[in-house]
Amino acid sequence: MSSPYIKSAAVVAAMAALDEGRTPERSVFREAVRALLTTLADRAPGRSVEVRVPPYGVVQCVSGPRHTRGTPPNTVEMDPATWLGLATGRLVWTQAVTEGRVRASGNRADLSPYLPLELE
């Protein structure tokens, strides 16, 4: 079953704007990023990896040792357009990392098993 977030109006609108070479409206971009981060957290529950998509959202996910203080040892950070591309399958994890579009640190920071956020 497809996640309701994948087909949300914000995700569709944001992807359409990016496809046209435009930057989505801030509120649309924010809603799309947060919806897809929520989907990731639902599909990879846990608190061992922190995924950051500034300035719109951050989520902890992936099972393993829980992090409670300071900077987590397993972090992933990227810009909103990269996150939408990865989450929707328009961008491949290894390509994004190789191109420097994703900054990942820690032995649990590989999100490729969870992406794209398509059908379960």
CA pair distance 34, 32, nearest whole angstrom:
6
The confidence score (pLDDT) of residue 66 equals 72
Where are the chain's structural domains? 9-114
Quickly tell me which residue has 């994890």 as its tokens: 93
Percent of the chain with pLDDT over 70: 88
SS3 category, 61 = strand
Give tens-digit pLDDT for 58-79.
999 999 877 666 667 899 999 9
List of residues 6+ apart from 104 with CB closer than 8 A: 75, 76, 77, 97, 110, 111
Write down the pLDDT at residue 7: 62
Confidence of residue 116 (pLDDT cuts 50, 70, 90): very high
* CATH class for the domain made up of 9-114: alpha beta
CA 106 to chain centre: 17
Of residues 92 and 2, more confidence is placed in 92
Residues paired with 47 in a beta bridge? none
Q: By mean pLDDT, which of 11-20, 61-70, 106-115 is the weakest? A: 61-70
Q: What is the pLDDT of residue 2?
A: 43
